[in-house]
Amino acid sequence: MALISWNESLSVGVDTFDDQHKVLIGHLNALHDAMRNGKSNEIITKVLDGLVKYTVYHFTSEEKAFEQYDYPDADKHKAEHQFFTQKAIDLQKQFQAGKLFISVDVLNFLMDWVQNHILGSDAAYRSFFAGKTVKAEE
């Protein structure tokens, strides 16, 4: 059972970012499945690494579009990205060092942040990017 299922209410109106959000949700669901099925720390580490790397890739894509089109709330949005990226990297390092277990609390933090960021900050740029061509970061 998926932790988060993609639906149109999560759409930000930018196909590139919607596609990336779907991948992020897929990584989060994979982490949830690995935990729920008692997978080894090696597998959980691989899934968590993929989630962190893809998050950085996605944020870079958004920030390039902000710069390209001079998005007025770019600084505030980038600050949110920096906060989440640092928190995710910290969690990853703690897990790799054996100081943290991926718990329901960690998973809830990740899930809440992804949902709230998509439904809040990302949804706020829907009208700004309407009609603009945004391509995935190469």
pLDDT at 92: 81
Angstrom distance (rounded) from CA 114 to CA 99: 24
C-alpha closest to that of 42 among 102, 85, 89, 90: 102
Angstrom distance (rounded) from CA 52 to CA 110: 11
pLDDT at 51: 81
Torsion of CA 90, 96, 97, 99, to 10 degrees: 70
Q: Which residues contact 87 (CB under 8 A, 6 or more apart)?
A: 109, 113
Whole-structure pTM value: 0.86
**Residue stretches of the chain with pLDDT short of 70:** 40, 100, 102-103, 105, 137-138
- Domain 28-129 listed as CATH 3.90.230.10: no
C-alpha closest to that of 62 among 44, 42, 92, 85: 85
Extents of the domains making up the chain? 28-129
On whether the CB atoms of residues 48 and 102 are closer than 8 A, the answer is yes
